Chains A and B, each alone.
Chain A
Amino acid sequence: MPADPLHILIAALVCWLNFVTIDILFKLPERGGVSGAEEIGRHIEKGGGALHGGYMMGNIVSSPDASAGTLLASCGVYAAGIPGGLLAALLVYIGNRICHDPGYAGTTGCITATLIVYGFTLIGFSAADFIIGMVIAILTIQGISHVHASRLLSTLWRWREG
């Protein structure tokens, strides 16, 4: 089946919404989970970004969060269907504990992403669309402009707070 750019674009949007929603619900922008994540947040703020968005980006770097969960769930569904996605959730859970992350954002994101990706495969999408979609989604947050991404995340965090 030839890759459909529209499918990749929709998959990227769905992945983005899944991981940003879950990370913000689990309060990742509130503070750095480990001292390294806080330091990344402060450096991003010093470079003109927003502190809470920076904390969230630091947390994404420092431990597998919902974005990693979404990627590994897509990989799991691609290789082995729903059981693959659940295996990925278990691995993310272990990964969180290895990285001293007490939260459940990664595991939750992985389970919701497994269901979402499996649902989309039933209507003609390929799980590969979601793997590439998640790589594009993380690129928009971590890989283009830290200043703008952190400001956007801080704005979303203020909505969650207020």
Chain B
Amino acid sequence: MNSTEIALAVCGIIALYAAFRVMLEKDTMKKLPFLNVISFAISGSIVLLVPHPLAIVAAAAYFVGSTLESNAIASTFAGGPRNE
């Protein structure tokens, strides 16, 4: 295995581990940090799989999108928007 394949394998293992933690965690708010780890691992994998300048845009779009979803879920559980 070359260094990219090893990096991809580690990203995949960490994403799977975080997915299990999401499933095992009962508290929805505490699921979100584990979900964040999955987003990191997948954004990294996108660029490792497709080493092209536009892959940066894809990874950033995926990351910002998933962050915004987590933000929306958390804000909804907190009782809706306060000043945002």
Interface residues of A (CB under 8 A from B): 1-3, 8, 34-40, 43-44, 47, 57-58, 60-64, 67-68, 71-72, 74-76, 78-80, 83-84, 87-88, 91-92, 94-95, 98-100, 126, 128-129, 131-132, 134-136, 138-139, 141-143, 146
| In-complex Cβ contact of A98 among B10, B35, B64 (8 A) | B64
Q: Smallest Cβ distance from A132 to chain B, in angstroms?
A: 4
Do B64 and A58 touch (CB < 8 A)?
no
A75 and B52 in contact, given A36-B73, A36-B78, A38-B78 (Cβ under 8 angstroms): no
Do A138 and B36 touch (CB < 8 A)?
yes
| In-complex Cβ contact of B14 among A3, A34, A35, A136 (8 A) | A136
Do B47 and A131 touch (CB < 8 A)?
yes
Interface residues of B (CB under 8 A from A): 1-4, 6-7, 10-11, 14, 17-18, 21, 27, 29-30, 32-37, 40-41, 43-44, 46-48, 51-53, 55-57, 59-61, 63-64, 67-68, 70-82, 84
A75 and B44 in contact, given A132-B11, A139-B37, A143-B14 (Cβ under 8 angstroms): yes
Q: In the bound complex, what is the Cα–Cα distance between A98 and B56 (angstroms)? A: 18
